[in-house]
Amino acid sequence: MSKSPLSLLSLFGAVVLATLLGACSSTPPKDETVGWSPNKLFSEAIDERNARNYDKAVSHFEKLEGRAAGTLLSQQAQLEKAYTHHLAEEKAQAIVTLDRFVKLHPTSPALDYALYLKGVVNFNDNLGLFGAVAKQDLSERDQKAARTAFEAFGELVSRFPDSRYTTDARQRMVYIVNALAQHEVHVARYYYSRGAYVAAVNRAQAALTDFRDAPALEEALYIMVKSYDALGMTQLRDDAARVMEKNYPQSDYLSRGFKQVDEPWWKLW
């Protein structure tokens, strides 16, 4: 026996009413930070981060940013949030937070740190300088983040030469330049090993043109000597050899050829 339209309507109304009552009976989660002073909120956020509860730490820093709006503590909360994202390996969120900070606070006394941290986020993303990646350095990885890091460090050094972070930034810039040069040499060596001698010369020449005083330039010259020799371009070969002998009179390349390096050239500390 089918139910009448009136009965179905009554049943539908009961279901809707039950759903509404269920929604009304549920209460939102309690905000434990209600009533906390800004200093307590900051302290608790740091504690959560130290305990590696990064999501909770970020939430606390966001609340602090709003509650202390217009103060230096609010600015610090933004930077601490960016650093927390960095620790949590959330690079994109860290960069967005730092870019927002730089845009909103161009005269902040902590602007030098914001630039430094932006460089570090990109630096660690690709360089792995403090990691345990066996025999792999920046020159064997994607270069985009390295160049972004270099730009951030360069702005810091240029605008804040007396900053406490400038010395370290300069060291990292030297590392990046050396690594980018080594990247070109990696590619040049690859082309040479495949018999693509013209391409090898071009990449080695790019390293010599774009970078100065990088350790990899010695090998770049050697690749040019070998490539020109393979191409039968004896005059260019001899010219490259003379330049190499002048700049690297103690070089082992011409006598021993390509070598395996046990200790990475890029080690700074």
Query: How distant is the alpha carbon of residue 174 from its chain centre?
Result: 16
Question: Does residue 263 carry a pLDDT above 50?
Answer: no
Q: Where are the beta strands (DSSP E) in 57-212?
A: none
Query: Residue range 123-132: average pLDDT?
Result: 49
Judged against a pLDDT cut of 70, whether residue 61 lies above it is answered with yes
Backbone torsion region of residue 213, taken as left when φ is above 0, otherwise alpha when ψ lies between -120 and 50, otherwise beta: left
Give the integer Cα–Cα distance in Å for 243 and 225.
Answer: 10
Tens digits of per-residue pLDDT, 144-185? 888 899 999 999 999 999 999 999 999 999 999 998 898 899
The predicted pLDDT at position 32 comes to 84
pLDDT tens sequence across 205-224 = 999 998 888 999 999 999 99
SS3 of residue 2 by DSSP: coil
Residue 170, H or E segment: helix 166-193
Stronger pLDDT, 140 or 231, i.e. the higher one: 231
pTM of structure: 0.72
Residue 7: which pLDDT band, with cuts at 50, 70 and 90?
low
* Rounded-to-integer distance, Cα 79 and Cα 98, Å: 7
Q: Which helix (H) or strand (E) is 148 found in, with range?
A: helix 144-159
Give the mean model confidence (pLDDT) for residues 174-202. Answer: 93
Name residue, tokens 């990691």.
Answer: 131
pLDDT of residue 262: 40
- Per-residue confidence band for 131, with pLDDT thresholds at 50, 70 and 90: very low
Q: What is the pLDDT of residue 14?
A: 54
> Residue 267's pLDDT band (boundaries 50, 70, 90)?
very low
Q: Which residue has the higher pLDDT, 129 or 230?
A: 230
197 vs 142: CA distance, rounded Å:
24
Instruction: Give the mean pLDDT of 55-67.
Output: 95
Q: What is the pLDDT of residue 146?
A: 87
Least confident of 18-32, 45-59, 76-90, 210-224: 18-32
The full set of domain ranges for the chain reads: 36-97
Comparing CA positions, the residue from 209, 192, 212 lying closest to residue 201 is 192
pLDDT in tens, 34-48: 889 999 999 999 999
Averaged pLDDT, 230-237: 96
Percent of the chain whose predicted confidence (pLDDT) is above 90: 65
Higher pLDDT, 144 or 27: 144
Mean of the per-residue pLDDT values of the chain: 84
Looking at per-residue pLDDT, the higher value among 23 and 203 belongs to 203
Can you give the pLDDT at residue 147?
Answer: 87
Query: What whole-number distance in Å separates Cα of residue 122 and Cα of residue 104?
Result: 21
